[in-house]
Amino acid sequence: MKVAVMGYGTVGSGVVEVIETHEKSIKNRTAGEMLEVSHILDLRDFPDDPHADLFTKDFNDILNDPETKVVAETMGGVNPAFDFTMKLLEAGKSVVTSNKELVAQKGLELLKAAEKHGVNYLFEASVGGGIPIIRPMAQCLAANNIEGVAGILNGTTNFILTKMIEDGMTFEDALKLAQDNGYAEKDPTADIEGFDACRKVCILASLAFGKHVYPNQVRAEGITKITLEDVEYISSAHGVIKLLGQIKKIDDDKITAFVSPAVVFHGSQLASVNGVFNAILVRGDAVGDVCFYGAGAGKLPTASAVVADMVDCAVHVNRRKNFGWGPGSEDYVVDEKSALEMPFYVRAKATESEAVALFHNVKFLTRTGQPSDEVAFITDSMTENALDKKLAGVNVINKIKVTNY
């Protein structure tokens, strides 16, 4: 079967490589049919690439090729990826993607178009890189009411936090190291401010609870305010700080979904996820907690998920996979600050007796070189709004959510 690849960057070139190097495993899944790359769309020139004869700068070459039935979109960004994908689906071609931004912003419209035209729009690679999560979650969904999802969804920030926790590096030094290693972009904003994780939360939330959640409905707080002092305090309580995307069902018509640093205690499967790895924990009423771990990014891991989706499309030509969701609404995602109760880590310029006076029951934390006018503690469970009210007159240095995953 002829397939095309749009976008020959890290993931796209990996897709071509995986297709070429995994003929046997692909044929095992397709009952003998090979995927054959007919076109590679990219505006750049790759004069030394062995696939020179496959390159095109004209999208219509793919759109108008009746033999090309499956297309991998690995361009990233909403435009022109949305326009291209829509035209391909309308032309009766299946599309698979690693483009989390597009799925988070436009997934609903693209899934509806795929349904209307009897083709598939698959996006396993858009969350967790090579980790199988979209299908397993859809599978869990068949016999579970999902109660919540929590994930370490961004490898760059997890690498930085791991270096801070394990090697005592400052945030700035760890970010520099991530950039030197190619784990972080020159402009790291999307990673360190939590925007990348936010898009993945949207996709997981949409899938888990059946209604589209958009990035502007999900508060994203990054890791730039985390200091080594916070790391050390939390370590004294046998915990680590992770950037978590969390989704929780409130009732049949409401969820919360947010990205923030969170205290995870040792014993949680999420606490031992280190370096650039990702993990997604799904909590179902029948199955309990299941957790999926692996490389959340990278050329070949992500490409292998894209190619697995292409194989699935090849096997399911003229048959629909039943993944998707319906429309969301503005008031569907409620503010976790009022809807959720949880403990909080608080670090402040204050005394222990002031902390006790405000919160009654707290667990104090310690660090080396702790100034006499600084206090750090973990509160009982409460809403963040209630916490903020109590802290109104206090000189707070940092506060971090404590997760129950």
Annotated binding site: 6-13, 100, 185
CB of residue 225 to a copy of itself, shortest distance in Å? 28
- Residue numbering of the annotated binding site for L-homoserine: 185
| Distance between CA atoms of residues 319 and 313, nearest Å | 9
From the list 25-33, 93-101, 215-223, 337-345, the region that binds a copy of itself by CB under 8 A is 25-33
Which residue in the set 284, 328, 346, 359 belongs to the binding site for a copy of itself (CB under 8 A)?
284
The whole-angstrom separation of Cα 111 and Cα 261 is 32
Please count the other Cβ atoms lying within 10 Å of the Cβ belonging to residue 153. 29
Name the residue nearer to a copy of itself (CB basis): 208 or 223: 208
- Member of 194, 261, 294, 343 binding a copy of itself (CB under 8 A): 294
Give the separation between CA 291 and CA 247, rounded to whole angstroms. 15
Which amino acid, residue 321?
A: K
Would you call 200 a catalytic residue per the annotation? yes
Q: How many CA atoms lie within 13 A of 372 on its CB side?
A: 0
Number of residues that bind a copy of itself (CB under 8 A): 55
Q: How far is the CB of 83 from a copy of itself (least distance, A)?
A: 28
Q: Does 181 bind a copy of itself (CB under 8 A)?
A: no
Q: To the nearest whole angstrom, how small is the minimum distance from the Cβ of residue 380 to a copy of itself?
A: 26
Residue 257 token pair: 């979904």
Q: Residue 275's CB: how many other CB atoms inside 10 A?
A: 13
Neighbours of 375 (CB within 10 A): 25
Contacting residues for 242 by C-beta, under 8 A, at least 6 apart: 152, 158, 161, 261, 262, 264, 270, 271, 273
Q: Which is nearer to a copy of itself, 124 or 384 (CB)?
A: 124
Using rule CB under 8 A, residue 204 touches a copy of itself: no
Residue 46 is encoded by which pair of tokens? 């790759």
Q: Which residues lie across from 212 on neighbouring strands?
A: none
Name the residue nearer to a copy of itself (CB basis): 25 or 227. Answer: 25
Q: Which of 93, 106, 163, 200 is catalytic?
A: 200
Residues labelled catalytic: 200
Binding site for a copy of itself (CB under 8 A): 18, 22, 24-26, 28-29, 31, 124, 130-132, 135-136, 138-145, 210, 267, 269, 271-274, 284-295, 298, 300-301, 303-308, 311-312, 315, 319, 322
